[in-house]
Structure 1
Amino acid sequence: MTDKFITIDNKKIGANHKPYIIAELSANHNGKIDKALKAIEVAAQCGADAVKIQSYTADTMTIDCDKDDFQVKGGLWDGYKLYDLYQWAQTPFEWHQQLFAKAKEVGITLFSTPFDESAVDLLEALDAPAYKLASFEITDLPLIKRIAQTGKPMIISTGMANLEEITDAINTAKDNGCKELVVLHCISAYPAPFEQANLATIADIAKRFDVIAGLSDHTLGTVVSVTSIALGASLIEKHFTLDRNDKGPDAEFSLEPDELKRLVEETQAAHQALGVAGYERKPVEQASMKFRRSLYFVKDIVKGEQITEQHIRRIRPGYGIAPKYFQQLLGKKVTQTITRGTAVSWDLIDSEKGDEQ
């Protein structure tokens, strides 16, 4: 099988490599840079491969307008005006340099989701190693074009998008210079219900678009992410918070540190468990072979005597010849006197009395 992979910060991402885990900080810093810096440090301690932030301002996302179109109705952010929500949730541009420096200090990759061209310019100035496109921006083809033109690896989330929109986004990225692309299956609900996770789409994305596929997971807990590994996910993105009690914008569906650590461990274990299709006896099974059934003499028998059903049985342990030869041995003579509890072996059977093998 071809080893198809992309590389971010010298880490390979693909089906033949351990799952790449992104801790999405999003707005869970609650407007405090110290909390953002601490989250980067803790994510590294938990074993995540990368921390992702979001690069926008309220003004690059929307306008300050009180009309009904700009009011959030329902869900986690019910009652917010869009502009106010983004003011609360933004990761200020002036923080970015310090956040990138912190990530380098603790040895974890940091990159971001830019929401407009000004954010791409900022991230390019900071030499961001990769870019993530949010599900809500998948139809913003001019933004995809700008990101692709950086030549950096690109990760696209597909939440809400139909097949045509996903195809347009992927084609735009590839046509504008994106050579390393991961496409994430995503359900844009916060939190997303298990019964709508539809993880079977992951394998279809990989095959249909000839890309590396992964999962942006908004379900609660880790079970959906771990399951996705068996269905071909090479990259998992999961929201992360230091403490859900902080009540950040995304805290309710985010993992806490102990859960992030478990996600890293369990996805790696799931990937190791996949292996390859095959029926060879595994080395670890060798010690168990002795507990198989085999043929044993269960009654003393003297040299030259014929074997009957009273002399041999199919029992454990497994040091004798295979049970399938039971009928073949009946009526044959033994070459020496044998005591009860002796494993049947071909050298104890008179070979001239029939074809023993």
Structure 2
Amino acid sequence: MTKQLITIDGREISQETTPYIIAEMSANHNGDIENAFKIISEAKRAGADALKIQTYRPDTITLNSDNPDFLINEGLWEGRTLYELYEWAHTPWEWHKPLFEHARKEGITLFSSPFDNTAVDLLEDLNAPAYKIASFEAVDLALIEYVASTGKPMIISTGMADAEEIQEAIDAARGAGCKELAILHCVSGYPAPAEDYNLKTLVDMQDRYGVLTGLSDHTLDNTTAIVSAALGASIIEKHFTLNRNGGGPDDSFSLEPAELAALCRDTKTAKAALGQVDYGRKSSEQGSVKFRRSLYFVKDMKAGDVITEDCIRSVRPGYGLVPKYFKELIGKKVAVDIKINSPVRHELIED
């Protein structure tokens, strides 16, 4: 089995590391490059590992048609054609170079989801450190193969894909030379209800596909993402905006800066809590051991006296013998004089 480890821009990501947090800008720049710069800066300030953009133009992702096939009839973008939506939402290609430069200046990794080969070519010219395949493109095996040919790490979202389609995407990536691959459990609803996520699937994916796994989360808060970290998610992606009420295509289901900071903090805590199988006494418990139950003498006794049930009790603190010895001690004799409220010890009992 291929080792479940990828490295993006020098950051190793594995099941042992803290979750790799990706802030997805998507269309939340709302057509203003200054907003895009601010989103990058705020993602860095919140503690995200990476900021992701999307690289397409309307004509590279759909057709300019008002045929019923191309009309959106429900949801956040109801009433628009696909072309109109992507014209509104896309990140202009001439922004890409200054966005990459700004991210480098801020010290945060920036990479993108390409939607056709020309987008990959643009991103290669900018030395993008990794690529993300969006859920809607997970069935575009030719695109996956073209991305794989770059030799860069690849992350594939699996929203709407069934088990067979996920395997086909993985096989396409591996077959075209991808050595560092991760998949993200995803629900392609905007927003998506937490109960649709069925996070037990994430655990199954880890075993079924043998690649690094994570979560692309479209719920409205951080609970699902935090639980996924506790289940072993190595990568977590959430949409990110400066203002949820900004009016952009994706603002309403995106995290604001304080929420992203909480996500970065709390998923690290969840991953740390997951830990490993360990039945040993923990360092934080050392001071508590003395307050466990143990056996104490509850009356004065003389050397040679027989211990009866009313002579000893299981009480706190824990300086005496553990309570499992209670029955074994009944009928034995004490070897020395005993004062009331003394801990029971082996050396005080006759052999």
- TM-score category (smaller protein): over 0.9
Q: Which aligned segments of 4 or more residues in structure 1 are displaced greater than 2 angstroms?
A: none
Count of residues paired in the alignment = 350
Q: Is the CA contact 2:301–2:337 (under 8 Å) kept in the aligned structure 1?
A: yes
1:61 counterpart letter in structure 2: I
Which secondary structure state, in structure 1, belongs to the residue aligned with residue 105 of structure 2? helix
1:270 counterpart letter in structure 2: A
How large is the RMSD of aligned CA atoms in angstroms?
1.2
Q: Does 1:261 find its partner at 2:277?
A: no
- Structure 2, unpaired ranges of 5+: none
TM-score, with length taken from structure 1? 0.96
Matches within 5 A, 1:63-102: 63-102=63-102
Which residue is equivalent to 2:291? Answer: 291
Which residue is equivalent to 1:15? Answer: 15
Distance in 2 (CA, whole Å) between partners of 1:324 and 1:164 is 55
Q: Is the CA contact 1:52–1:111 (under 8 Å) kept in the aligned structure 2?
A: yes
2:177 counterpart letter in structure 1: G
Which residue is equivalent to 1:274? Answer: 274
- Structure 1, unpaired ranges of 5+: 352-357
Distance 1:3 1:329, change over 3 A: farther
Deviation of 1:66 after TM superposition, in Å, equals: 2.2
Distance in 1 (CA, whole Å) between partners of 2:81 and 2:268 is 41
Which secondary structure state, in structure 1, belongs to the residue aligned with residue 226 of structure 2? helix
Q: Does 1:204 find its partner at 2:204?
A: yes
Which residue is equivalent to 2:320? Answer: 320
Distance in 1 (CA, whole Å) between partners of 2:141 and 2:331 is 82
Which residue is equivalent to 1:228? Answer: 228
Which secondary structure state, in structure 1, belongs to the residue aligned with residue 111 of structure 2? strand
Distance in 2 (CA, whole Å) between partners of 1:173 and 1:30 is 33
Distance in 1 (CA, whole Å) between partners of 2:125 and 2:299 is 85
Q: Is the CA contact 1:25–1:51 (under 8 Å) kept in the aligned structure 2?
A: yes
Which secondary structure state, in structure 2, belongs to the residue aligned with residue 246 of structure 1? coil
Q: Is the CA contact 2:4–2:210 (under 8 Å) kept in the aligned structure 1?
A: no
Q: Is the CA contact 2:232–2:271 (under 8 Å) kept in the aligned structure 1?
A: no
Q: Is the CA contact 1:3–1:14 (under 8 Å) kept in the aligned structure 2?
A: no
Deviation of 1:309 after TM superposition, in Å, equals: 2.1
Q: Does 1:244 find its partner at 2:250?
A: no
TM-score, with length taken from structure 2? 0.97
Matches within 5 A, 1:150-189: 150-189=150-189
Which secondary structure state, in structure 2, belongs to the residue aligned with residue 264 of structure 1? helix
Distance in 1 (CA, whole Å) between partners of 2:45 and 2:79 is 37
1:128 counterpart letter in structure 2: A
Q: Is the CA contact 1:133–1:144 (under 8 Å) kept in the aligned structure 2?
A: yes
Q: Deviations over 1:24-72 (max 9, x none)?
A: 0000000000000000000001000000000011111122222222211
Which secondary structure state, in structure 2, belongs to the residue aligned with residue 111 of structure 1? strand
Q: Is the CA contact 2:26–2:52 (under 8 Å) kept in the aligned structure 1?
A: yes
Q: Deviations over 1:219-243 (max 9, x none)?
A: 1100001111222211001000011
1:20 counterpart letter in structure 2: Y
Which secondary structure state, in structure 1, belongs to the residue aligned with residue 132 of structure 2? strand
Comparing 326-335 with 182-191, greater Cα deviation is found at 326-335
Deviation of 1:3 after TM superposition, in Å, equals: 6.9
Q: Deviations over 1:5-29 (max 9, x none)?
A: 1100111111111100000000000
Which secondary structure state, in structure 2, belongs to the residue aligned with residue 288 of structure 1? helix
Distance in 2 (CA, whole Å) between partners of 1:326 and 1:63 is 82
Distance in 2 (CA, whole Å) between partners of 1:306 and 1:231 is 55
Deviation of 1:133 after TM superposition, in Å, equals: 0.3
Matches within 5 A, 1:17-32: 17-32=17-32
Q: Is the CA contact 2:183–2:212 (under 8 Å) kept in the aligned structure 1?
A: yes
